[in-house]
Amino acid sequence: MYPDGVMAHLLQHVKDTPGKIAFRYKKEGLYYPITYGESGKYLALLSTWLSGQGIEKGKRVAILSENSLYWALADLSIISLGAISVAIYPTLTRRDVHYILENSESSIVFVQNRAQLEKVQSFPQFTRQIKACIMMENESIEGERIFHMHDLLSGDASLDAWEERIDTIMSDDPICIIYTSGTTGPPKGAVLTHGNIAFVNSAIKQMIGDISPIQESLSFLPLSHALERIAGLFFSMNFGKTIAFAESLNTIVDNMKEIRPTHAVAVPRIFEKIYERITTQVNRQGGLKKRIFWKSVATGKTMSRVLSQGKAPGFLLRLRYSLAYKLVFSKLNEAVGGNLKYFISGGAPLAKSIAEFFHAAGILVLEGWGATELSAPATWNSPSAYKFGSVGKALPGVEIRVAEDGELLVRGPNVFREYWKREEATREAKEPDGWYHTGDIGFIDSEGWVYITDRKKELIINAAGKNISPANIENVMKSSPYISNIMVYGDRRKYITALVNLEKENVIAYLNERGITADAAKPLGEISEVWDLIEKEIERCNGELARFEQVKKFAIVPEDFSVENDMLTPTMKLKRRNIIARYQALIDSLYEGELYITE
């Protein structure tokens, strides 16, 4: 038995605290609890059924679904057998789903609904390779190889048999294959081991210290992603905590108020959206409310600086902050449930100003950095030691060094084992002595704080030979409440240009305030007032950039970058090559002395 593994710990919680709540899920408008004892029964039932289908140690089983209680039960039942769980983003196209099924050689697939089932059934090797599809949602679909989750969870199963299977798991056994959402080429399946996950859980616990106040998380990022899977599900099950599932990204605020979580995992765009919504609304109100708000923010930032330095605030500052909290910040804290200890942010860079704003309001956002290949985190800002603008310090037991070209290399027990059936790709990414090439450019200061400045392959080298970070420019530009997304361009060019997605709700509100009605038949970008607005916003943001980084020309693109049109990865990163290919003519026009808007 591997005593430090997540499944061994979960088994112990099932035995020792069967009445404690493991999961909460929403059904017909209410949250229902599932205890550790009930979870153990369901996992024993599922693993017994999977075993009867020939799933044993090392076999692959896929999950193609959005987050749910059933997702978690499917995942944990697979890995309790020593089998390998293969997570597939539900937003992926049929082509990518077929590639992952073929590459992983998965023989059983858990699918959310009819739409996901159809992706699997259209797989050319379906008849030869796929033995069974398990439907998670209660749809009346029948077929020789179709089973229903609620049927498989009925009846009784032996916990002893489940424990025996868990006892066979070793540290080096694979726990899952997570396919990296590459910005170019087909995805690569990163193989993580039970030992990888156990190490990360132990390291994070060491950085937190007392984890007793951390009791319940709200899960809303895809469990297909390493960050939510490891920092959310595996962490909760390892330490006997509770994980609740949000209904959707659109209901996060409502679900926060219902669950009142102590922590949650998020990506920067969620914090950016909240910040944009609040500040836009305040600035529109103007007058006394606006002055009180920004005065409170200034007080909050002063308090934030004092606390960040480990100092005790003086009496007058505590008094001013108490008033600011009552007048302004209490509403934001209530919106996230009023019980939050901290947010964990990862997956992309978080602007320092956004982190400072939330901390000013009394909400601590702890940024980390890593990759799927690093079992999610390599660094983290902990609750007791954080520095906004950095991605934290290396996890205990993890080594980080800067290569000659500025790339950050990582070595430690969190580094993945291999890319599934991709030996050459594995050799390119991981040196024989264990150093993993992250592809991120950054530096480490004298105190050990790590900073990320860009992606190695995405650096722009302009016509003058200057290295320019597109991510830095894009983060500055996205601080505008009227820009939802942006891609900058300028490799081997004389100046920087940009393709802009509008934050349509805010743009329409801006027009309405000026008595202008947007015509549904006419793209917003063709309205002269919108063009003037974006031009002013870019000029304002340019003030935060060096001259050679400033955006000189832009075009408004009516088609938002998205996963569906293959311009974003499932983790919301720009697929630059695809965007450039789609809009090459438009980009070229920005260097020909003219601007136009694409139809």
How far apart are the C-alpha atoms of 241 and 244, rounded to whole Å? 10
Q: What is the pLDDT of residue 597?
A: 41
Q: Mind listing the pLDDT tens digit for each residue in 480-507?
A: 999 999 999 998 788 999 999 999 989 9
69 in a domain, yes or no? Answer: yes
Q: Mind listing the pLDDT tens digit for each residue in 532-542?
A: 999 999 999 99
Output the six-digit token pair for 537. 């916003």
- The answer for residues whose C-beta is within 8 angstroms of residue 445's C-beta and 6 or more apart is 390, 451
Domain match, 451 and 472 both:
no
Output the six-digit token pair for 323. 């008033």
Contact between residue 442 and residue 402 where contact means Cβ atoms under 8 Å apart: yes
How far apart are the C-alpha atoms of 209 and 191, rounded to whole Å? 29
Side-chain-facing half-sphere of 559: CA atoms under 13 Å: 12
How far apart are the C-alpha atoms of 328 and 320, rounded to whole Å? 12
Domain match, 19 and 90 both:
yes
How far apart are the C-alpha atoms of 173 and 597, rounded to whole Å? 53
Q: What is the pLDDT of residue 571?
A: 75
Domain match, 175 and 273 both:
no
In angstroms, how far is CA 171 from the centroid of its own chain?
Answer: 26
Q: CA angle at residue 415 from 197 to 179, to 5 degrees?
A: 80
Domain match, 410 and 487 both:
no
563 in a domain, yes or no? Answer: yes
490 in a domain, yes or no? Answer: yes
How far apart are the C-alpha atoms of 526 and 32, rounded to whole Å? 49
Domain match, 579 and 547 both:
yes
Domain match, 365 and 476 both:
no
pLDDT-based confidence at residue 369 (cuts at 50, 70, 90): very high
Phi, psi torsion values for 523, nearest 5 degrees: -55, 140
249 in a domain, yes or no? Answer: no
Q: What is the pLDDT of residue 594?
A: 45
Domain match, 165 and 30 both:
yes
Please indicate whether residue 43 or residue 566 has the higher confidence score (pLDDT).
43
pLDDT at residue 346 tops 50: yes
How far apart are the C-alpha atoms of 45 and 159, rounded to whole Å? 9
Domain match, 411 and 471 both:
no
Q: Which residue has the tokens 């916990």?
A: 159
213 in a domain, yes or no? Answer: no
Domain match, 352 and 481 both:
no
Cα separation values, 195 from 3, 135, 227, Å: 11, 31, 17
How far apart are the C-alpha atoms of 442 and 459, rounded to whole Å? 12
In angstroms, how far is CA 505 from the centroid of its own chain?
Answer: 24
415 in a domain, yes or no? Answer: yes
Q: Which residue has the tokens 């998020």?
A: 266
Please indicate whether residue 142 or residue 127 has the higher confidence score (pLDDT).
127
388 in a domain, yes or no? Answer: yes
pLDDT at residue 422 tops 90: yes
Domain match, 277 and 302 both:
yes
Q: Which of 176, 195, 214 is the last residue of a domain?
A: 195
Q: Mind listing the pLDDT tens digit for each residue in 281-327?
A: 888 888 899 999 999 999 999 999 999 888 999 999 999 999 999 99
Q: What is the pLDDT of residue 268?
A: 86
Q: What is the pLDDT of residue 239?
A: 96
Domain count, the chain: 3
pLDDT at residue 183 tops 60: no
Domain match, 314 and 360 both:
yes
Q: Which of 434, 456, 478 is the last residue of a domain?
A: 456
* Beta strands 418-419 and 436-444, pairing class: unpaired
For the chain, what percent of residues have pLDDT higher than 70?
A: 97
How far apart are the C-alpha atoms of 263 and 384, rounded to whole Å? 15
pLDDT at residue 2 tops 80: no
Q: Mind listing the pLDDT tens digit for each residue in 143-177?
A: 888 999 999 999 888 899 999 999 999 999 999 99
390 in a domain, yes or no? Answer: yes
Give the domain CATH number at 368: 3.40.50.12780
In angstroms, how far is CA 431 from the centroid of its own chain?
Answer: 27
Name the DSSP letter for residue 480. S
How far apart are the C-alpha atoms of 165 and 158, rounded to whole Å? 11
Return the closest-CA partner of residue 469 out of 430, 502, 496: 496
Secondary structure E strands in 372-468: 376-380, 393-394, 399-402, 407-411, 418-419, 436-444, 450-455, 460-461, 467-468
What 422-430 contacts at long range (C-beta under 8 Å, 24+ apart), as own/partner pairs, is: 422/188, 422/189, 425/188, 429/373, 430/373
Domain encompassing residue 546: 459-589
Domain match, 470 and 439 both:
no
Q: Which residue has the tokens 């020909």?
A: 592
Q: Which of 139, 168, 195 is the last residue of a domain?
A: 195
Cα separation values, 212 from 202, 205, 239, 573, Å: 15, 11, 10, 35
- One-character DSSP codes across 118-130: HHHHT-TTHHHH-
Q: Which of 25-34, 103-112, 502-511, 521-530 has the lowest mean pLDDT?
A: 521-530
